[in-house]
Structure 1
């Protein structure tokens, strides 16, 4: 496996000897597609001129949202015990798995929700909003100040993860240093574009 990092868009790609590539870190689907094209172009400049991008697809979208209230997560997890798990010794949030749309949500007492899904993110958030609304609680002034400071420093980010593969017209291309465990780091932003 070879690891390749791009500065713009800020993404990391894992390139496997089979030709499969996994690209993570993009903040939009368009950025993920742009990164996939740049990675393909960079590898083709390394001596594989007939390389092309095939089977591109977005497989995961990771995002966060903040509810306008804090959440009582212990009673929430007790009521939704069948599809929610809460182990405060292991993780500070409740893991809630939706079947339709297929999504995994991490619900925190601060009102912050992290979601990992492929399909409709909006419908997953709308579904969980109606459930957590019943367990809302007011935030303390200190919590509000902390959240505002965090929001200003971090900003909103949504990360996409995509899979695609390389396909050559003539021969099988192996991009590998010979060992699967070791990865090389490339910085492909060297003025090739």
Structure 2
């Protein structure tokens, strides 16, 4: 009798955590992004809230080297301040977008006020057609951890459903 309550609760809890995990990963990667194409001069862009941001290199190819050791300079246009941009390659944060392009975080910076900014880039090794930069809130390893949360909650959902059906059929 206890199993007829325990396994459906496992199914419901697993389903609830699965929905929460998928929602969280959408929140992490679906936030506001600024796309800067590299085939023309970089435009000015607006950052609406202070905090940590990452610069990710976007390349529409499955193979090839992503330039990681590039000198980036960030300048606030309102007061002319320069912000430190640190080269940090985050392979745990690498992902693909809906077009199949690889997106690899290569640098990060921290701003203390909203405003209009300009990014300048040192010499890039080789720019391919379609390459660009994506500026977004720093994800770090949150997306990587959410993938594991999705896997664990999906396993709990499936296990709870299968064991509930077997319990109600008196097979356990």
Task: Identify whether the pair has TM-score above 0.5, normalized to the shorter chain.
Answer: no
> TM-score, normalized by length of structure 1?
0.26
Higher-helix-fraction structure: 2
> TM-score, normalized by length of structure 2?
0.29
* Max Rg structure: 2
Higher-strand-fraction structure: 1
